[in-house]
A = this chain, B = another copy of it.
Amino acid sequence: MKIIAGNVCAPLGFRANGVHCGIRRSKSKRDLSLIVSDVPCSAAAVYTQNLVKGAPLLVTQRHIADGRAQAVIVNSGIANTCNADGVEVAEKMAELAADQLGLKPEDICVASTGVIGQPLDLTPVREGLPGLVAGLARDTEHGEFAAQGIMTTDTRMKEIAVEFTAGGKTCRIGGIAKGSGMIHPNLATMLVFITTDCAVSPEMLKKALSSDVTRTFNMTSVDGDTSTNDNVVLLANGLAGNEEITSEGPDFTSFMQALNTITVHLCRMIAGDGEGATKMLECTVSNAKTEKDARTVAKAVITSSLVKTAMFGSDANWGRVLCATGYSGADVDVTKVELSFRSKAGVIDVCRDGSGIPFSEEIAKKVLSEKEIEILIDLHDGEGKATAWGCDLTYDYVKINGDYRT
């Protein structure tokens, strides 16, 4: 398996594009994206667990119920959530795309991201679609146009592609994502679109995705708010020519590994590009009683506002990490906890057996001044292990969210 250049257009038979159609005011901002496979795909998706669900999710859920889909249409700027006519509008958006693509509306997934509670006027979508479809192409540039079209307060485009082998055939898998704010998924996440030319049955695709998100997107948090529109869609068109993966085995394992490479990369990008973030935090908990305990602790730590602000200030205030460990709800023996901070500048041990140990504040400052910080927690109480990704809490987070709508 190796990382290759590209994104959702890296796998065979996927074309993409993104344009500015007018949902957002700024003309330089793409706001409508399309990803299309040349042939029908196995499809799987996971959605937000928020009781308030974006209307597009309800429509995608329905369209994907048969395990099949062929295209995804997404807009940014307005979430189409908490609107009385939301589902109707999302269905219409699928119809408009289907008309232009010569597909059935039931084979189109729909997603929206942006402000909640504002009506989505489809006029710009209707007017923008012909150009969007005419410009579809199978190259990295057009995949990037699609990645740009789903960005909101993101500052960086998020894309990745991987090549791997299944059934003796070279397969590719690629993804794009938007993250930034309202990122604290629960069994699903932000907007993520992943394509592969590997042949995988709908059942195994669903199994792969569900199992993966538990350890990836569900372990990523920017601000503790679980969005109404979180959504990961995975399309597999089988054009790599491998024998369809229909059960567990070496091919499924290869596929899972490739998928995990894609998702971990996107999680790290989403965390590092959290609203206002200056640093990416990766918390790894090892030797917990169970994997679930490890996950609970790791997520509590990267979610703590006090840990996040300390990291912003490059302050080795490890007591806040231990505090979050203690209130996480996990089964932890606090007298055994060992803590370290690590970055490419080095590693510094700060706590052993649940109590502080002397350390050089100077070295700690150096370690914590890097862009990517690892928080390492050894619970010495079992074999459970988990990693969570987050970011620091900064002035800019407050600025971005204090006046988001204007």
Most buried by B among A310, A317, A402, A405: A402
- List of B residues within 8 angstroms of A119 by Cβ: 356
CB-based contact B401/A313 at 8 Å: yes
Any B CB within 8 A of the CB of A211: no
Any B CB within 8 A of the CB of A81: yes
- List of B residues within 8 angstroms of A304 by Cβ: 224-225
CB-based contact A403/B225 at 8 Å: no
Any B CB within 8 A of the CB of A70: no
Known contacts A313-B401, A315-B405, A397-B398: A225-B51 contact under CB 8 Å? no
CB-based contact A398/B393 at 8 Å: yes
Known contacts A52-B323, A225-B320: A309-B351 contact under CB 8 Å? no
A49 to chain B, nearest CB (A): 7
Compute how far the CA of A326 lies from the CA of B53 in the bound complex, rounded to whole angstroms: 8
CB-based contact B51/A334 at 8 Å: yes
- List of B residues within 8 angstroms of A81 by Cβ: 319
**8 Å CB interface, A167-214 against B:** 181-182, 186
Known contacts A323-B52, A323-B116, A327-B225: A306-B351 contact under CB 8 Å? no
CB-based contact B310/A82 at 8 Å: no
Any B CB within 8 A of the CB of A247: no
A385 to chain B, nearest CB (A): 20
Any B CB within 8 A of the CB of A226: yes
Any B CB within 8 A of the CB of A354: yes
Any B CB within 8 A of the CB of A84: yes
- List of B residues within 8 angstroms of A237 by Cβ: none
**8 Å CB interface, A299-322 against B:** 303-306, 309-310, 312-313, 315, 317-320, 322
Any B CB within 8 A of the CB of A273: no
Any B CB within 8 A of the CB of A290: no
CB-based contact B116/A320 at 8 Å: yes
A398's partner among B49, B312, B318 (CB-CB below 8 A) is B312
Compute how far the CA of A84 lies from the CA of B118 in the bound complex, rounded to whole angstroms: 55
Compute how far the CA of A399 lies from the CA of B399 in the bound complex, rounded to whole angstroms: 13
7 contacts between A and B (CB under 8 A): A81-B319, A118-B356, A225-B306, A305-B401, A310-B402, A393-B398, A398-B398
Using a CB–CB cutoff of 8 Å, the interface residues on chain A facing chain B are 48-53, 79, 81-84, 115-119, 181-182, 186, 223-228, 303-306, 309-310, 312-313, 315, 317-320, 322-327, 332, 334, 350-351, 353-356, 393-395, 397-406
